[in-house]
Structure 1
């Protein structure tokens, strides 16, 4: 091909070990620092010790150790250049989940590389899928997983949809906001979206490098791309899907926008007022309709929710951590307390965000 390797959840070069501090999780096999879960829960108690239902983490990254070994053998990656969190395994994840009161995590697979052929890409996806299945089997009720899609290889993506959703029990697919500058919503992806619509699939999205950027390079010197560019990438994909009326044309898919939708909630009124200048023009009613139909995860930490809730029903918000790319103490000491203290949420809405909304979206998670 070669393939861009854009479907990764996060790009390893973007979050290299020398750019992102990892104070709570420092290496494969090492212990997660024992931090109390929000609300004073003791580590190792996913129920918080207070009768609360355990959370479902819908934004939980995973780099398969089998994929790392295979990719290194084929000269696709240098394991020494991966960030330390990319070497963490399922046991590290379980310790973090117990500390944060998380019962189940849906794995977002990361396998970024420039694959030399479609066959090599399929092998990488198959290795990753088998690894995630093994993790789920070895830790009953703790893990489920998404299928990684590379939409710049439509044939391999179609195979991965059939393999992962049709045969292996994945609960959705994971895609990135753009592939070589072609954003979600583009007609080039209609074939795959039609197949996903046939499966009534959950389509989990994640930002990537902005088009034209050099992988591993900061767009603005000194400002990591995940600080601003990732949010813009998600916003561009969402606006393009609104403009192309993706959710109208494929009404049986469910699209999750990460990081509370990026900047989308903050530009909603701007898009309604000025969308007529887009090509094709954006109908204000389509903006309101799509905003209410997207799902949004809380990974971030996200901003206070008032602006989001002005456009989005609370039952469309899903709990997500971004672990292990986000350090454990960032989640337990900052993100979770901020979420629980957010005055825009009622206790009932928080219960939905932590668990019930995910179960309505993916009922299989109740039987993982």
Structure 2
């Protein structure tokens, strides 16, 4: 695969006020150290890694760091910080706006403001907030609003409501589990079937959803004999997936065998996954020999151009 201008849908922003809010509460992203970050450093990394545009989002635990209403204020501050960076570098930087769930009214208000005023490229939600997963009926008004707008929703994993394995930060193991858990919760509770205009991106290749999808669809009939495996599979296949930490020789074939055409997007997870890790996984993408015609370009850029038309470029010929 030749080096092309990637669109990175899974790249993180670490606003100083957010990093300080975490430090003040002695919080981390599931036991993972918060890395140093700067806008100029992000662009320099993208130049080295062949990334034309990074769509930035705040990682877990998001912007709701305690009780009360402070989550809405922190979300607004984070989103305005990202929007300013996007205004300065519109071709290089995009953003997914943070929403202060589980406060649904505040989340809807922030989504409207961020999409209409800040011109965010979509929104980011954590896979669970305080143990409440994304298929929860309380979230229906949010999905209805995002679906009405045909919005793009980026789902980032969070630490599940369970004790960490000793010596094992949540990003090592629990994040892939929690992504899978919330995606299945959305499907079994009908969210993906009812709201078909919004586009939902699952981080890290969807956890182990592609590998276990047929298990999920087959066992659903034991819980509900009126359901068919095919109907469950339709909703599972509505998801989009990013390749962050998921482009390995064992994971990539499963992802490509499951995902619908155009539903796999490039992701780096920088800076929480450092540049050494990014180079490692980029190498798998660049060396993979199983791509069909145009599939490599679709993953690295073409499919994201469809989701984010402002980033589309005129075609310059056939792509491998």
TM-score range, shorter chain: 0.7 to 0.9
- Cα deviation, 1:148-188, whole Å, max 9, x if unaligned, reads 11321112111111111122101111001112222112211
User: Unaligned 5+ residue runs, structure 2?
Assistant: 314-320
SS in 2 for 1:321: coil
Q: Give RMSD over aligned pairs.
A: 2.4
Q: Which residue of 2 aligns with 1:264?
A: 209
Q: CA deviation at 1:113?
A: 5.3
Bigger relative CO (Cα 8 Å, ≥ 6 apart): 1
The structural deviation recorded for 1:136 is: 1.3
Where does residue 96 of structure 1 map in the other structure?
45
> Does structure 1 conserve the Cα–Cα contact (< 8 Å) formed by 2:177 and 2:207?
yes
Q: 1:227 to 1:283 in 2, by over 3 A?
A: farther
Whether 1:166 and 2:119 are equivalent positions in the alignment is: no
The residue that corresponds to 1:58 in the other structure is 9
CA drift at 1:237: 1.0
How many residues were matched structurally? 307
Q: Within the alignment, does 1:226 sit opposite 2:171 as a pair? A: yes
Instruction: Report Cα offsets for 1:212-257 as digits up to 9, x if no partner.
Output: 33xxxxx222333222211110111111112122122111111101
TM-score (norm 1): 0.77
Check 1:242–1:103 CA distance in 2 against 1; reply closer, same or farther (3 A cut): same
Distance 1:361 1:353 in 2: 12
2:214–2:233 Cα contact (<8 Å) kept: no
Distance 2:192 2:230 in 1: 13
Task: Give 1:263-342 correspondences, 5 Å limit.
Answer: 263-278=208-223, 283-304=228-249, 305-332=252-279, 334-342=280-288
Matches within 5 A, 1:115-264: 115-118=66-69, 120-213=70-163, 219-264=164-209
Deviation, structure 1 residue 59: 0.0
Change (3 A) 1:280 1:197: farther
Q: Distance in 2 between matches of 1:353 and 1:309?
A: 10
Using structure 2 for the length normalisation, give the TM-score. 0.88
Q: Contact 1:144 / 1:365 at 8 angstroms: preserved in 2?
A: no
Aligned-partner Cα distance in 2 for 1:228–1:351: 30
Consecutive unaligned residues in structure 1, runs of 5 or more: 1-37, 40-47, 214-218
Q: For the structure 1 residues 92 and 199, does the alpha-carbon distance in structure 2 shift closer, same or farther, using more than 3 Å as the test?
A: same
Question: 2: distance between equivalents of 1:229 and 1:72?
Answer: 20
Distance of 2:270 and 2:15 partners within structure 1? 14
